Amino acid sequence: MPVTPEQQAEIDELRAQTQPTLRAVSPGMEKHLYKAHDVLDHGFVRVIDYMGDDEAICQAARVSYGKGTKSVQNDEGLIRYLMRHWHSTPFEMCEIKLHVKLPVFVARQWIRHRTANVNEYSARYSILDREFYIPRVEDLAAQSVINNQGRGETLTGEEAERVLRYLKDDSNRAYDHYEDMISEEDGKQGLARELARMNLPANIYTQWYWKVDLHNLFHFLRLRADSHAQMEIRVYADAICEIVKDWVPAAYGAFEDYRLGGATLSGKAVECIRKMVAGEEVTQETSGMSKGEWREFMGVVEG
Amino acid sequence: MPVTPEQQAEIDELRAQTQPTLRAVSPGMEKHLYKAHDVLDHGFVRVIDYMGDDEAICQAARVSYGKGTKSVQNDEGLIRYLMRHWHSTPFEMCEIKLHVKLPVFVARQWIRHRTANVNEYSARYSILDREFYIPRVEDLAAQSVINNQGRGETLTGEEAERVLRYLKDDSNRAYDHYEDMISEEDGKQGLARELARMNLPANIYTQWYWKVDLHNLFHFLRLRADSHAQMEIRVYADAICEIVKDWVPAAYGAFEDYRLGGATLSGKAVECIRKMVAGEEVTQETSGMSKGEWREFMGVVEG
Amino acid sequence: MPVTPEQQAEIDELRAQTQPTLRAVSPGMEKHLYKAHDVLDHGFVRVIDYMGDDEAICQAARVSYGKGTKSVQNDEGLIRYLMRHWHSTPFEMCEIKLHVKLPVFVARQWIRHRTANVNEYSARYSILDREFYIPRVEDLAAQSVINNQGRGETLTGEEAERVLRYLKDDSNRAYDHYEDMISEEDGKQGLARELARMNLPANIYTQWYWKVDLHNLFHFLRLRADSHAQMEIRVYADAICEIVKDWVPAAYGAFEDYRLGGATLSGKAVECIRKMVAGEEVTQETSGMSKGEWREFMGVVEG
Amino acid sequence: MPVTPEQQAEIDELRAQTQPTLRAVSPGMEKHLYKAHDVLDHGFVRVIDYMGDDEAICQAARVSYGKGTKSVQNDEGLIRYLMRHWHSTPFEMCEIKLHVKLPVFVARQWIRHRTANVNEYSARYSILDREFYIPRVEDLAAQSVINNQGRGETLTGEEAERVLRYLKDDSNRAYDHYEDMISEEDGKQGLARELARMNLPANIYTQWYWKVDLHNLFHFLRLRADSHAQMEIRVYADAICEIVKDWVPAAYGAFEDYRLGGATLSGKAVECIRKMVAGEEVTQETSGMSKGEWREFMGVVEG
């Protein structure tokens, strides 16, 4: 269970009392505040705070473009226009602060997105909990044989069992030894926490506060809610997508259409499309593309 | 008058209605929301939105340091500890969004602080207003004779009059010609706005939405609320200081003590202080410092 | 003439002497070092330093992907793969430092790209030169009637003459008064430079050192070497493109194909293309796109 | 041994051939290029590339301050002036690219410095080596009893032995199982690398290319070459300090004096110093400082 009874009590208390504010309020987001959305076996995502809504994006755009935005009839149209033309600064005017509990190997990918603010639980100061990510059997995938970074079929039988046994046993043993090393009982001095933590494997859970603006969040989601992302980070991105959809529905709709569901074509691909639409035949050989490019291009054209 | 009647009506309307929220609310900040604080002759600063309060800083710190922060009895003590030890990430968990109206030459300095989000009024799309910063007579300072970038005594008499006349006449003439160039009356085609704007001087007013986290705002304020900053940007920094004081009183107090009112000493200066406190005499010659360094050091030691 | 005789002498001297280095050297870039490429009437771009070459991009990618990159036969193929899949970090491993002389209104657009290092000539400390951008007659475009930020036809006849006269007269008069205000002759005190500069119009030239990594430079070039960019900044982007082409030919080739010459399609547009390629008819009405979107989509499909 | 024979052969080859360049060359840095400086038991730091030298810092400053910098007689004086007055942009004009091999728990601290470019070895694509950081006996410190994040006395006797045994056994067992999980021998499918890596502990070595400008590097070094930093990252910072000293001797000298060896005082501390220098007695009670602050203040004043 990701959330402890103490945490749930705190959440309930925070959700019990509203205060008046003059700021922009997103009703869809207020529903999410503080609640933990479960992810993986012990992880969660929860909204701690937010700034702005769809209207705030338009308001900022209208400061920039002034009378130039008059022609766009409504907010949704303006937001779609901004997204289509890569006008990123109005989206930067919204901000979200999340509390995330996640395995360390996921945190290591996540932190590569540098344009965000982070406060992570410190294993130099404090003692980590005995919580490890252990995949479900159906998520134990083999190395892909066609893609260096992807996953192939699901492991079966004894092999799957052995993998699960390793993951469970090793993490528990590592944690037993971690506890023993820092223990000050029985006359022991107790190893410094900043040293003892090095014995813990990458599937241990950590947690952090992560604050980011909407433009950079969309960039993160485009890469991590993508089918090429590792499943264990994609489930976090998917959970955040559901939250953002309620927070800024118009902006999320434009993001879904222009980024998540869209495609980027090279100059060569654009030329091929012009020929194909005109009825000409095009093959990989005549396209000027490599085999890998052509395969990806066909994925766009044929679906 | 910085604020137009339309803007004032909009401010009044926005301030008339509160909405309930579950988020952290800073009562001191709610008082400021939307209101315009006048700066210079036509400029202003006003708060459009904010995220977080003093407690949010502590909450983020406690995620990081966990039980490690237990020993600090209260929030104010924790905030002072964080500020003293340059733990900047908890302060990044607060965010502010300002609407600022300011002369272009001030905007050019301001924008050098890169860690912020900006939406500026676009003179490619829209037509700028006829509003120019004209200094008060008492602010017409001569070039400093001891400091390459500073100001010296105030100009007087005919020289001051001539300067004011130049500034007023030139900006008005430039604006007349700007209007004439973009005019499409009397069969004229009208020069593109993106070209016509190049005729306007650097004292014309622009405006933008500027969003920044509290850590980076403090960095901005330390440099710009400083006596070495140009007066025309310092007055904006001073106005923001007053706002931040009401928003996050404990954080602002720590900032005032450790940054605004503090001093940074070199290794040589620390050695001199040790000698001086021990009763030894130290001179510029024996200090190892250059004359400039020594003068600044004396400013710290003697006040 | 953008470059003064003193600057030319300095350039000649710097180019006369080579030194041995163990670092990666790009022969195509060495040809450009220090030389000024003229832009507009008084501006220039010149390379002051650079780090890395095409091979350095691959070297960094191979640290990341290790044996995973073995399958890609050569450097050019790897670079195209990285560009196609938005693997941006290897491109960040190259860096360029430019000296740019440019009008202030261009500098104001340019500085909006925040992920770069800048040292600009300071008009607080120093006196600006009497150099203003005056457009060529053929560049005096009217405001576009279909696009709020674009240019339309070229101004003609008396209207063009009047615009040029305004721009020349106003900038010269403003500079005369600038000089007079800061003058300390004839018993005058001389206005502080930081104040006097406010009288100068946005077509005055400034200069800066601008340092940026290749990934962020490509982002800048994609936006500014684009047909929607204002001509006065596009000519700088175009000049930089020519330099980058000689510096990292493979990376530039991939950038040209995938970014400059490519297109981004929305989910709706991808669906339309699938239908069109399959021989179905699609119209704006059945596409689900707005008129503006459809017009842009047709621009991609029909060229 | 940190460097493999293949790596050493590559280093020797790269160091055998120089090429001519017109760029700024730092002779002190050329000596370091490519060579591995050993850190910890299997780690290293080595310079892959650099841009600029002390003169480049001054050159950039002189673009900014123009004639304003004339009064400073020489480069070293100018650099000290820039450092003293927090003029950071000229230092951003130098850049360094390092190849670092380091334990994962060190990498996790390091990456928190966001203003840098990173390409890390990917355990999704590739297989990690069996290399773990095992502390020397003399580095096995107990948890500090006065500081939540610090280290106390060294562990002794059986406790030290047990800790070492845990660290060695657990990391080797984890690696054995890692190898077994990804193995495709004997008809096994082989778990995907991106999953198998989660079994590896935080003392396994990773490696990356890390590129940063000199200003941000100094910031990193100030925090990490500090006595409060964890020893295992401080040794990397110390190794980099030695390199920077040879690269930009004047800038490093100023950094050492103003940052590493300096001190930051609060407003209260400045007041105390004024009193103390004037011969007045000051105690913690009359200082207005907390006990913690006073202890740190005494550390500055008494050494």
> Are B155 and B172 in the same domain?
yes
Residue D145: is its pLDDT beyond 90?
no
pLDDT category at A292 given cuts 50, 70, 90 is confident
Residue B72: is its pLDDT beyond 90?
no
Give C101: exposed, middle or buried? Use CB within 10 Å, 0-12, 13-18, 19+.
buried
pLDDT category at D73 given cuts 50, 70, 90 is low
Query: In chain C, which ranges are continuous DSSP H helix?
Result: 5-16, 27-30, 54-65, 75-84, 104-110, 157-182, 193-196, 214-224, 231-247, 249-255, 267-277, 284-287, 291-302
Relative to beta strand D37-39, strand D19-21 is: unpaired
* Higher pLDDT pick, D41 / A68: D41
Q: What's the pLDDT score for residue C6? A: 85
**Do C277 and A274 count as a contact with CB atoms less than 8 A apart?**
no
User: Which one of D10, D14, D35, D64 would you mutate to disrupt binding with C, by most C Cβ within 10 Å of its Cβ?
Assistant: D64
Q: What residues of chain B lie within 8 A of the CB of A120, using their CB?
A: 63-64
**Do A266 and C261 count as a contact with CB atoms less than 8 A apart?**
yes
Kindly report the average pLDDT of chain B as a whole number: 93
Contacts of D241 (CB under 8 A, 6+ apart): D221, D225, D252
> Are B35 and B125 in the same domain?
yes
Q: Report the catalytic residues of B.
A: 224
pLDDT category at D150 given cuts 50, 70, 90 is confident
**Measured on CA atoms in the order A278, A281, A286, A288, is the torsion positive or negative?**
positive
Length of chain C, please?
303
Partners of A20 in beta bridges: B20
When pLDDT is averaged across residues C144-166 and rounded to a whole number, the result is: 88
A89 is in an annotated binding site: yes
Domain boundary among B202, B219, B236: B202
> Are D74 and D127 in the same domain?
yes
Q: What residues of chain C lie within 8 A of the CB of B144, using their CB?
A: 192
Q: Which chains touch C (3 or more CB pairs under 8 A)?
A: A, B, D
Kindly report the average pLDDT of chain A as a whole number: 93
**Do D33 and C22 count as a contact with CB atoms less than 8 A apart?**
yes
Q: What residues of chain D lie within 8 A of the CB of B261, using their CB?
A: 266-267, 270
Residue D182: is its pLDDT beyond 70?
yes
pLDDT category at A231 given cuts 50, 70, 90 is very high
Q: How far apart are the first and last CA of chain A?
A: 39
B73 is in an annotated binding site: no
Lowest-pLDDT range, A144-148, B61-65, C88-92, D104-108? Answer: A144-148
**Measured on CA atoms in the order D10, D15, D21, D23, is the torsion positive or negative?**
positive
Closest by CA position to B63, among listed B44, B35, B82, B36:
B82
Q: What DSSP line would sit under chain B, residue for residue? A: --S-HHHHHHHHHHHH--EEESS---HHHHTTTTPPEEETTTEEEEEEEEE--HHHHHHHHHHHHGGGGTTS-SHHHHHHHHHHTT--TTGGG-EEEEEEEEEHHHHHHHTT--SSEEEEPPTTTSPPPS-B----GGG-EEEPSS-TT-EEEEP-HHHHHHHHHHHHHHHHHHHHHHHHHH---TT---B-HHHHGGGSBTTBEEEEEEEEEHHHHHHHHHHHSSTTS-HHHHHHHHHHHHHHHHHSHHHHHHHIIIIIS-EEE-HHHHHHHHHHHTT----HHHHT--HHHHHHHHHHHH-
Q: Are B285 and D257 contacting, i.e. CB atoms less than 8 angstroms apart?
A: no
Cα–Cα distance, C23 to D14 (Å, whole number): 9
Taking CA atoms, what residue in C is nearest to B109? C122
> Are A232 and A297 in the same domain?
no
Residues B160-170: tens digit of each pLDDT: 999 999 999 99
> Are C191 and C226 in the same domain?
no
Q: What residues of chain A lie within 8 A of the CB of D202, using their CB?
A: 104, 197-202
> Are B145 and B107 in the same domain?
no
Q: What's the pLDDT score for residue D1? A: 59
Cα–Cα distance, C175 to B140 (Å, whole number): 18
Cα–Cα distance, D178 to D195 (Å, whole number): 10
CATH number for the domain harbouring residue D216:
3.30.1360.170
> Are A112 and A256 in the same domain?
yes
* Higher pLDDT pick, B75 / A49: A49
When pLDDT is averaged across residues D240-251 and rounded to a whole number, the result is: 98
Q: Which chains touch B (3 or more CB pairs under 8 A)?
A: A, C, D
Separation in Å, CA of D101 to nearest CA in chain B: 26
The boundaries of the domain holding residue D71 are 5-133+203-260
> Are B193 and B209 in the same domain?
no
Residues A240-273: tens digit of each pLDDT: 999 999 999 999 999 999 999 999 899 999 999 9
CA–centroid distance for B27 within its chain: 23
Domain boundary among D202, D223, D249: D202
Residues C25-73: tens digit of each pLDDT: 999 999 999 999 999 999 999 999 999 999 999 999 988 766 545 555 6
**Do A144 and D192 count as a contact with CB atoms less than 8 A apart?**
yes
Q: What's the pLDDT score for residue A50? A: 98
> Are A191 and A285 in the same domain?
no
Cα–Cα distance, D106 to D243 (Å, whole number): 20
pLDDT category at D105 given cuts 50, 70, 90 is very high
**Do C148 and A270 count as a contact with CB atoms less than 8 A apart?**
no
Domain count, chain C: 3
Q: Are B190 and C142 contacting, i.e. CB atoms less than 8 angstroms apart?
A: yes
Q: What's the pLDDT score for residue B145? A: 77
Residue C125: is its pLDDT beyond 90?
no
> Are D170 and D158 in the same domain?
yes
Residue A112: other Cβ atoms inside 10 A: 12
> Are C154 and C191 in the same domain?
yes
Q: What's the pLDDT score for residue C149? A: 67
Cα–Cα distance, A51 to A26 (Å, whole number): 9
Q: What's the pLDDT score for residue C7? A: 82
Q: What's the pLDDT score for residue B74? A: 86
Residue C127: is its pLDDT beyond 60?
yes
> What is the number of CB-based contacts under 8 A between chain A and chain C?
100
pLDDT category at D5 given cuts 50, 70, 90 is confident
Coil, strand, or helix at residue D190?
A: coil
Separation in Å, CA of C198 to nearest CA in chain A: 23
**Do D93 and C119 count as a contact with CB atoms less than 8 A apart?**
yes
When pLDDT is averaged across residues C109-126 and rounded to a whole number, the result is: 93
Kindly report the average pLDDT of chain C as a whole number: 93
Residues C228-267: tens digit of each pLDDT: 899 999 999 999 999 999 999 999 999 999 999 999 899 9
Q: Which chains touch A (3 or more CB pairs under 8 A)?
A: B, C, D
Cα–Cα distance, D103 to D105 (Å, whole number): 6
> Are C171 and C248 in the same domain?
no
Residue B116: is its pLDDT beyond 70?
yes
Q: What residues of chain D lie within 8 A of the CB of C33, using their CB?
A: 22-23
- Counting Cα atoms < 13 Å in the Cβ hemisphere of D59 gives 16
Q: What's the pLDDT score for residue C66? A: 60
Taking CA atoms, what residue in D is nearest to C33? D22
Separation in Å, CA of A80 to nearest CA in chain C: 10
**Measured on CA atoms in the order D55, D57, D59, D61, is the torsion positive or negative?**
negative
Lowest-pLDDT range, A172-186, B273-287, C192-206, D66-80? Answer: D66-80
When pLDDT is averaged across residues B246-268 and rounded to a whole number, the result is: 95
pLDDT category at D161 given cuts 50, 70, 90 is very high
**Percentage of chain A lying above the pLDDT 70 cut:** 95
Separation in Å, CA of C110 to nearest CA in chain B: 11
